[in-house]
Structure 1
Amino acid sequence: MASSRRCATLICSIAFSIYFFIIIFQVPIFSVPCRIGICKTPMEVTSSQLIASEVFPRSIVKILFYPGAAAKAICNQKTIPSYKNLLNIHQFNTRAVSAASDIQHLEVLAGSYLSVGGAITGLIKPGRMGLFGILLLMWGVIRESIMGTSGFAQAKGIHIYPAMYIVLISAFFSIRKDVRKLIRTFTRKHVVKVKRFKSKAK
């Protein structure tokens, strides 16, 4: 029992670390039209909408967005953006929003909110918020791609990157209860097989 708990804890910790890294450091997982042009991460969608709606102070949005912006600059061998000019560099201060560039489906926006929220709240206790967010996000992007209502689908293609499946798997395996159930199920099946094998050997 203790070994299964330790194993579940280890798996959940690794899975959540991967999930947190992809979300917070803004690894591209999809491509959709948004208020700043084309968004490729839940953090970009969330930040652009929070700035436009003015629900949270901009300082909080900048704190959330800065780690990913700095990581992108380092990976692209560019100058790390200053905290002061962060919103201007990434065009978050652009007020003009056209029908073609705005997000057409609430699934993408809601999924992005939940994904980012799951990464933040998961630092205290990982839960199902991130998993629900990724599932909702995938459904929204796939639906947008199939329907093509924004005109963006035909022009540049709305699609999902391979990292989306990685973050989906990591979000699932970060839920400790589900991981423990899986481990118990496989352990019981293994014990049953061993007992059957021993009985046949006798």
Structure 2
Amino acid sequence: MAAHAPVAAASPWVRRFAPLIPAGEVLDLACGSGRHARLLAELGHPVLAVDRDEQALAACAAPGIRCERHDLESGAPWPYAGRRFAGIVVTNYLHRPLLAPLLDALAPGGVLIYETFAAGNGQYGRPSSPDFLLQPGELLEQVRLHDNGMRVLAYEDGYLAQPKPALVQRICALRHEPEADPARALAL
């Protein structure tokens, strides 16, 4: 059996906000080799790791992580209709038709952590196609406009030098839960 390549370190953005995710199952969408799924499992969450790449999923497999292969861009219906997750993590992936179903899949009190490439990133490398790059303020606008009671805890749109130069947008948002302790949302 061939050894897997080492798993990259979790994004500092995800590491920063992952502790805000309440107990419950977390969806790691477009999980790749599992850098965030592993972090979330280490924090005690059952993790559903989803990707279309079978090799990536094989590298992702670990205790506390259930891997599922789905090509979410195939036009098939959203496979998690009616399910709710305590947290949803997406990094380095954008398929705009999934934004609304993702927000709908977040349970009350749940946390969305999303980070991906922004317009202008082509000057630093891939991706460079507008299909895979968020327009200025697009991620923030999508979260705010979606009628699901989201509270934005943090948002950034700009240049990152590490782990490689890139233009990104990233957001952490909490789905409003009327009975929740407001201090939790502010404990950054």
> TM-score scaled by structure 2?
0.31
Name the structure where strand makes up a greater proportion of residues.
2
Name the structure where helix makes up a greater proportion of residues.
1
More RCO (CA 8 Å, sep 6+): 1
Please say which structure displays the higher CA radius of gyration. 1
> TM-score scaled by structure 1?
0.30
